């Protein structure tokens, strides 16, 4: 095996990853190390895809006095395709051997870190198929909010405006986080102009790419509350080269999993792309609003995107078109022709309103808050109701009592069923 391996270390002690890096030495370029402190966070990373194997520090497991192997069994049950190698000291060797007897790939002693560890890891990873994202859920235990994605058929069709206003509408009665999932050059920071000290997606990605765990409080410190919309918080895209780092499927879905723990809806503004990261997000979303303009290029691009998403077989993802009329066209494509080309339901049609959009930008406010009675605002609220009917999310009290549906599970037709 010559490919780089991504190894996820589950260890409460942050020093654990440093000692592991010392073991790898000059072979570190062939291993990508990530660390999390607990199994639930590890599962979020695994479900995002790209993890080749897991190292489970046994003292973490021994913290469960009644059932010391419970964390290992949780991994085994919820991520059956990922090999688990147990790390222990000599006092825990009997327990490690028991884990191997129950299906762990191997174990090794902490006191005896040797170069042979590298061979062991490659051998274990070589016996398994490459990992892939788990389809359809970011939160299989039913505790997460719904993930709603918006993506443009091409750049500049108004995707961010649609996502922002849907988020603001839902936030009138739900807890909502709007995530601008662009590694750089997003437009929301320009729209709201937050203080330069405000932390953003780049800060979270920098920590993730250093192999550090992203705790919930770290995400919360990067959320910007929108003025006059109490239920809405925004995670801005990276705003500087210093914080602009790689956005991969694992850290993208890991961040969304954290956001879904504290929100009823996580609205994701995706760049127009068929990247592996977008695929992982869509595989873990309840529905996708594909934003399309009424021109041949936009509709053709949307058709290509739908063909690729169909090939991905993205779980229970429900897809609909959001047709945006950003300005009056001389000869717009008829709606019937768009329907025939795309063969998906239309979630909503947004009428042209360039003056109101410009006023909203100057006011640094969502359009639906600035002029609630405008035709565009009414259409955006109707779109929000359509999304909420399609992917209902339990309120905080109900979720606390019973747990909501999993983030990617929605009682609705799949794309093949909504023609």
Q: Is residue 334 over pLDDT 50?
A: yes
Selected residue with higher pLDDT from 171 and 125:
171
Q: Which token pair is 342?
A: 């795309």
Q: pTM for this one?
A: 0.65
Q: Quick one: what percent of the chain has pLDDT higher than 90?
A: 26
List, in sequence order, every residue forming a beta bridge with 293; answer none if it has no partner. Answer: 324
Q: Which token pair is 186?
A: 């997003």
Confidence class for position 276, pLDDT limits 50, 70, 90:
confident
pLDDT value at residue 48: 65
Report the C-alpha gap between 366 and 291 in whole angstroms.
Answer: 18
Confidence class for position 134, pLDDT limits 50, 70, 90:
very low
Q: What is the CA radius of gyration of the chain?
A: 23
Mean pLDDT value across residues 150-170: 94
Nearest to 1 by CA among 113, 124, 92, 134: 124
Q: Which residue spans within 333-378 are E strands per DSSP? A: 345-350
- The mean pLDDT value of the chain amounts to 79
pLDDT value at residue 405: 33
Give all domains of the chain, ordered by start, each with its CATH number.
Answer: 5-126 (3.40.50.2300), 146-417 (3.40.50.300)
Asked which of 99-113, 156-170, 184-198 is least confident by mean pLDDT, the reply is 99-113
Burial of 173 (0-12, 13-18, 19+ CB in 10 A): exposed
Q: Is residue 143 over pLDDT 80?
A: no
Report the C-alpha gap between 56 and 75 in whole angstroms.
Answer: 10
Report the C-alpha gap between 238 and 113 in whole angstroms.
Answer: 38
Confidence class for position 216, pLDDT limits 50, 70, 90:
confident
| Cα torsion through 332, 341, 290, 246, rounded to 10 | -110
Asked which of 7-11, 124-128, 324-328 is least confident by mean pLDDT, the reply is 124-128
The conformation of residue 10, written as its DSSP 8-state character, comes to E
Report the C-alpha gap between 301 and 155 in whole angstroms.
Answer: 10
Q: Is residue 387 over pLDDT 50?
A: yes
Nearest to 143 by CA among 257, 235, 10: 257
Mean pLDDT value across residues 315-330: 79
Nearest to 309 by CA among 414, 412, 413, 181: 414
- Per-residue pLDDT tens for 9-65? 888 776 666 777 776 665 555 677 787 878 877 877 777 667 888 888 876 654 555
Nearest to 40 by CA among 134, 138, 147, 135: 138
Q: Which residue has the tokens 């035709």?
A: 375
Confidence class for position 136, pLDDT limits 50, 70, 90:
very low
What region, left, alpha or beta, does residue 253 occupy, with left being phi > 0 and alpha being psi -120 to 50 degrees? Answer: alpha
What region, left, alpha or beta, does residue 168 occupy, with left being phi > 0 and alpha being psi -120 to 50 degrees? Answer: alpha
């Amino acid at each position: 095996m010559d490919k780089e391996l991504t190894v996820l270390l589950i260890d409460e002690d942050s020093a654990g990853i440093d000692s592991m890096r010392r073991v790898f030495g000059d072979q570190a370029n062939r291993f990508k190390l990530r660390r999390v402190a607990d199994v639930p966070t590890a599962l979020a990373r695994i479900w995002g895809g790209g993890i080749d194997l897991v190292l489970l520090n046994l003292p973490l497991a021994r913290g469960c006095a009644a059932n010391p192997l419970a964390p290992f069994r949780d991994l085994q049950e919820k991520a059956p395709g990922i090999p688990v190698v147990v790390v222990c000291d000599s006092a825990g060797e009997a327990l490690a051997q028991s884990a191997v007897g129950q299906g762990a790939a191997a174990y090794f002693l902490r006191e005896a870190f040797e170069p042979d560890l590298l061979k062991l890891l490659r051998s274990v990873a070589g016996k398994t198929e490459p990992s892939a994202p788990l389809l359809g859920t970011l939160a299989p235990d039913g505790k997460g909010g719904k993930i709603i994605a918006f993506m443009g058929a091409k750049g500049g069709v108004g995707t961010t405006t649609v996502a922002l206003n849907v988020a603001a509408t839902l936030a009138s009665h739900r807890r909502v986080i709007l995530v601008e999932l662009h590694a750089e050059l997003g437009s929301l920071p320009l729209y709201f102009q937050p203080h330069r000290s405000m932390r953003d997606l780049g800060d979270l990605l920098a920590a993730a790419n250093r192999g550090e765990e992203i705790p919930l409080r770290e995400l919360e410190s990067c959320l910007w509350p929108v003025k006059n919309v109490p239920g809405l918080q925004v995670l801005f895209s990276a705003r500087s080269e210093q914080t602009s780092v790689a956005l991969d499927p694992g850290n993208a879905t890991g961040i969304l999993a954290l956001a879904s723990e504290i929100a009823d809806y996580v609205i994701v503004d995706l760049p127009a792309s068929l990247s592996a990261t977008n695929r992982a997000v869509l595989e873990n979303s309840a529905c996708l609003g594909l934003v399309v303009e009424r021109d041949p290029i936009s509709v053709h691009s949307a058709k290509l995107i739908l063909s690729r998403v169909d090939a991905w077989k993205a779980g229970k993802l429900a897809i609909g078109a959001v047709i945006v009329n950003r300005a009056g066209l001389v000869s717009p494509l008829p709606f019937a022709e768009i329907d025939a080309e795309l063969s998906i339901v239309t979630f909503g049609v947004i009428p042209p309103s360039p003056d109101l959009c410009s006023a909203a930008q100057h006011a640094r406010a969502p359009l639906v808050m600035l002029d609630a009675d405008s035709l565009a605002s009414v259409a955006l609220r109707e779109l929000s109701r359509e999304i909420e009917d399609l992917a209902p999310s339990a309120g905080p009290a109900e979720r606390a009592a019973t747990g909501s549906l999993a983030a990617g599970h929605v009682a609705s037709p799949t794309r093949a069923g909504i023609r």
